[in-house]
Structures are given as C-alpha cells and as structure tokens.
Amino acid sequence: MAKLIPAAERIARARQLIQQARQLPVPSTGLGKSDFSYIASVKDLLRQARDLVKFIPQTAGVSIEMKEEVKRIHEEIERANREILY
C-alpha cells in the first residue's frame, strides 16, 4: 500500500520538481531548446509536480491557505513551462 504524503510535503516536492525543470541543462548540440528529449524531460518534471498537488483542493480538511498555495503552484508550473520552452 502506498504511503500517504502530507499536503505540505507534496507542495515542497512540487516546488523541487519545478526547480529541477528550470535547472535542466539546455542541450548545446543539435536543436537546443527544440530537442525532443529536452522538451520531454521538462514536461515530465512539470507533470510530476502537477500530479503531486492535483487532488489537494478536493481533500477534506485542507485549509483555504493550502488551496491558495496549490493555485500558486499551478501558476508557477505554467509560468515555468512558458519560460523554459518558449
């Protein structure tokens, strides 16, 4: 059975994944930012971050502040996607 991860830890892990996506080195050879494996790696890290916090707002007993934090995480994921890939 999978171990339950507290919401605060999920948010911290999501932020770490976003940071990893930002720090992923752009390939210096070939297509650079258009390299398919680079794009896939960035999108996978951002997807993992999104999946970690996806169900926090629907969880019972979660504070309004935590729900606002999840909204900020989603905005940060979208901003990171635009900044990294476009």
pTM: 0.90
Q: 69-78: list long-range contacts, CB under 8 Å, 24+ apart.
A: 69/11, 70/11, 73/11, 73/14, 73/15, 73/18, 73/49, 74/50, 76/15, 76/18, 77/14, 77/18, 77/46, 77/49, 77/50
The pLDDT of residue 51: 96
Q: Give the mean pLDDT of the chain.
A: 93
Taking only the tens place, the pLDDT of each residue in 4-61 is 889 999 999 999 999 999 999 988 887 888 889 999 999 999 999 999 999 999 988 8
